[in-house]
Every structure is written in structure tokens, then in C-alpha cells.
């Protein structure tokens, strides 16, 4: 054992997101990148679904129709895309909206993550599905496409495809979304660390301040618990 190695605190980071939300793509990628550079923590990601289009038809809808449905007009949709592109550039990344022809339902993608999470860390799979949609225009509502992406990140493609063509974990995904809404989350991406919540896309410095605040809160609660001889319960969500 290396006695000089820094002590790493294990902490859970819940991320509420949807695979077809461009803000979620930017927010998730930025958070994972920011926290990956931390040498003082061991992050356990917990991926929570927030399906933006629960009534989407099985084949999805065209990207232009999706924009109009969410933002009222083609002009407002184009302005939003321009805003997101600028935000992406400020974070050092690019989303290729010109490659997206349609927006699929995301129930199966979220089901796949719930399935994969029971088998180990699936952070790279989450990032890969977001990347496939926003940079390659891939049909992430297609079980074959999802199984192929899963294979690239260490999961058995046959098992993944067998799972995806069924209906297992639909109830789990739906329940997770309801719980997020009941907890007061009405926008994505939302990041919750030890009861502290933040919604939207933020740069690494802001995300690290959230993590530091959560670590301080956790340390304070643990110290008080040790002094009083009891274990603190889970903290309610707080927006910071």
C-alpha cells in the first residue's frame, strides 16, 4: 500500500437528463470531464431519466417538428440552436445539429442505462449514446443501434439486444422520472450531490464548487454524527 497516496472520498453524483436534450449533452460531458480531473474523490454516477417527449411515437418525429413543438416556431428553434452552439464552443465542443434528421423516443436508451448500471459503471455508455445522437445523427431509438453502442463499451451486444426488444424496466424508468419531478426537478440536466442540486450547463469551476460544497456538507454531517453517535439521514434537495 502506498501510504503517501491521497485519501479519496467516495461520493454519489446523481445526474437527471435526457438523451435528446442538447443542454443535457453539454452538461453531462462537462460534468464528467470536470470531475474526472479530481484526485480527491471517487465518483459513483447515478443516471436518472427525465424523458422530455413521453408521448413520442415509436419512430420518433422529425427534428424540425420537434423544435417547433418545443419552441413554437422554426425561427425560435433556429435561435435556440445558435445559442446552444455558442454555449458548446465556449466549453470547447461542437454539436452537429445538421446531422440530426429525427428525434427518437428515449425510453429504450434510458432502459439500457438502467440495465447496464446493474452490471457496472456505464458512464462511457451514457456519453457514447449522447455523442451518437448529437454528433453522428444516429438513431438512438433503434435497439440494434443501442446494442452496437453498448458492445463498444464492454457490454454483451446479444444480451443488450435481447433486453431491449422486451419491456423490462419500463416501470423503473417511469418511476425514476416521477420521483425526480416530485423532488422538484423540472429541468435538465440537473446534478445532485449529497442533497445539493444544480440545474443547467455550467463550467468546470462552478461544478467543482458544487462538489466542494457537497463534500463539506458531508464531512460536517459525518463529524456531527460521530460526536452524537447517530447516522444522519439523506439530506433533502437544495438548489445552489
Which pLDDT does position 2 carry in this prediction? 56
Domain ranges in the chain? Answer: 9-209
CA dihedral 14, 38, 11, 222 (to 10 degrees): -140
Can you tell me the distance from the alpha carbon of 64 to that of 83, in angstroms, rounded to the nearest whole number?
A: 16
- Judge whether 19 and 106 are in contact, CB under 8 Å: yes
Element (H, E) at 185: none
Can you tell me the distance from the alpha carbon of 18 to that of 24, in angstroms, rounded to the nearest whole number?
A: 6
CA-based nearest residue to 26, from 198, 196, 188, 208: 188
**CA-angle at 224, arms to 223 and 228, nearest 5°:** 120
- Going 72 to 76 to 81 to 83, the CA torsion angle's sign is negative
The architecture of the domain spanning 9-209 is 3-Layer(aba) Sandwich (3.40)
- Tell me the CA distances in angstroms from 163 to 27, 48, 55, 103, 155, one per residue in order: 28, 19, 22, 22, 12
Block mean pLDDT (10 aa), the chain, length 240 = 68 97 98 96 96 91 92 90 95 96 97 96 97 98 98 97 97 95 92 94 96 85 50 38
Which pLDDT does position 50 carry in this prediction? 96
Which pLDDT does position 6 carry in this prediction? 63
Max Cα–Cα distance, the chain, nearest Å: 61
Amino acid at each position: 500500500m502506498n501510504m503517501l497516496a491521497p485519501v479519496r472520498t467516495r461520493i454519489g453524483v446523481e445526474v437527471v437528463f435526457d438523451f435528446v436534450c442538447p443542454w443535457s449533452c453539454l452538461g453531462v460531458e462537462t460534468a464528467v470531464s470536470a470531475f474526472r480531473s479530481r484526485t480527491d474523490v471517487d465518483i459513483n454516477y447515478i443516471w436518472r431519466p427525465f424523458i422530455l417527449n413521453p408521448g413520442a411515437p415509436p419512430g420518433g418525429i422529425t427534428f424540425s417538428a420537434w423544435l417547433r413543438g418545443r419552441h413554437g416556431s422554426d425561427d425560435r428553434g433556429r435561435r435556440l440552436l445558435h445559442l446552444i452552439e455558442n454555449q458548446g464552443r465556449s466549453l470547447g465542443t461542437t454539436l452537429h445539429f445538421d446531422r440530426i434528421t429525427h428525434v427518437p423516443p428515449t425510453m429504450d436508451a434510458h432502459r439500457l442505462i438502467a440495465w447496464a448500471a446493474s452490471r457496472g459503471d456505464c458512464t462511457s455508455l451514457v456519453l457514447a449514446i449522447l455523442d451518437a445522437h448529437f454528433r453522428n445523427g444516429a438513431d438512438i431509438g433503434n435497439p440494434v443501434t443501442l446494442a452496437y453502442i453498448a458492445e463498444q463499451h464492454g457490454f454483451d451486444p446479444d444480451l443488450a439486444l435481447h433486453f431491449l426488444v422486451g419491456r423490462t424496466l419500463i416501470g423503473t424508468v417511469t418511476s425514476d422520472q416521477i420521483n425526480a419531478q416530485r423532488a422538484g426537478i423540472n429541468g435538465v440536466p440537473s446534478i445532485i450531490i449529497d442533497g445539493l442540486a444544480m440545474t443547467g450547463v455550467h463550467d468546470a469551476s462552478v461544478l467543482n464548487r458544487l462538489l466542494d460544497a457537497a463534500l463539506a456538507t458531508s464531512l460536517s454531517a459525518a463529524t456531527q454524527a460521530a460526536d452524537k453517535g447517530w447516522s444522519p439521514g439523506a439530506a433533502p434537495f437544495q438548489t445552489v
